[in-house]
A = this chain, B = another copy of it.
Amino acid sequence: MENFTFYSPTKFVFGKGMEAEAGKLVKAFGGSKVLIHYGGGSVVRSGLLDRVKASLDSEGIPYVELGGVKPNPRSGLVYEGIELCKKEGVDFVLAVGGGSSIDSSKAIAAGVVYDGDFWDFYCGKPIEKALPVGTVLTIAAAGSEGSGDSVITKEEGMFKRGASGEGIRPKFSILNPELTQTLPPYQTACGITDIMAHLYERYLTNSKDVEVTDRLIEALLITMKNEGPKVIADPNDYQARANIMWAGTMAHTNSCGVGRSQDWNSHNIEHELSALYDCAHGAGLAVTMPAVFKYVMNHDVARFTQVANRVWGVETAEEGIEAFKQFLVSIGMPSTLGELGGKEEDIPTLVKNLCYGDGRDGTISGFVTLNEEDCTKIYQAMI
């Protein structure tokens, strides 16, 4: 196990009706004027936005609103949010939605207190300072509610890049599994896939003697394998929704990823797909992961065999990858580039953006360092 620091000072408030606590929590963490930042109409139609506003009202906390966050959130709305916060004297950003609303909120929170272009943070500058951020989560997927990470797509060039830093870790996150019950099956399955990707990316390590974190990751993968199909069969299964929601948060606070190197190549390879085709991140990952895993399997076949045995109950590394792929198909996820709207002739563009975009040197590093040829073969295997 390698040396590490683990610090996860987010307060998680979990359960039915907990969005009513939003006002009290904003106040407890020092907010006196709030930007409520959200996506489409679903949080409006469901009445969630009104409940959150009522909670702020009851604490006497004023707010402004900015909706319109899209999946794969864009830099344009971030700039708009930063301006709005500055103009209105906002000192707390409250995300209401899924990973996209949260990531966009984090970018705004960092940008408001920064003297330059917020995109600097998405080119490698760590985020040390930001307005405090809170979240009311509506989708179990990205894990952004418990992480110091954010992913934004820059509209010029459609580059999708991540930023990190303690400054943007949420002060609190409200997790009410009921709010996820209205999600369509496809988005639910995308969330399940994203959570499992966060686990697999941590599992694929070159570090040795990592029994405790291996076992924790496997525990969460087994949970997803068992609970995932339940919510696809019955979207109103509160208990399965609850198990998935906590697993999704635990998958990405890094409590099970410490002391070990991690991969994240599947995420990098997928980011080019959702940037170019604007497909759902989870759907992109469902196509990407089996292709990547088969390509890198022989780098450490014992590791792939271990997860095959312990999680999927099959014998060989290859059977484990196939079982995972079939699981993803069974919950409604795509398995080919074509299903995402991709075409073979796009592959050179995907590879170029991946390996050279935003200052990369022609390779992406992780469990295995992959060059242009490797990445080309991986994209081709998705056809």
Contacts and interface: CB of A to CB of B under 8 A. Distances in A.
Interface string A226-266: 11000000000001101110110010000100110000000
Given A212-B243, A247-B212, A3 B9 contact: no
Contact of A212 (B1, B208, B211, B246): B246
Interface string A1-14: 11111111111111
A88 interface: no
A3 B238 CA distance: 12
Contacts of A11: 5-7, 9
Nearest to A13: B5
B219 A1 contact: no
A220 B255 CA distance: 13
Interface in A106-152: none
Given A239-B1, A259-B242, A215 B211 contact: no
B3 A12 contact: no
Nearest to A221: B215
Interface in A10-60: 10-16, 18
Nearest to A172: B7
Number of copies: 2
Nearest to A244: B212
Interface residues of A, number: 44
Contact of A14 (B18, B216, B218, B259): B259
Interface in A58-116: none
Interface in A189-221: 208-213, 215-216, 218-220
7 contacts: A3-B16, A14-B258, A211-B223, A211-B226, A211-B243, A212-B227, A212-B250
Given A5-B11, A212-B244, 11 more contacts: A4-B15, A6-B12, A7-B12, A14-B258, A211-B223, A212-B220, A212-B246, A215-B219, A216-B250, A246-B258, A250-B255
A337 interface: no
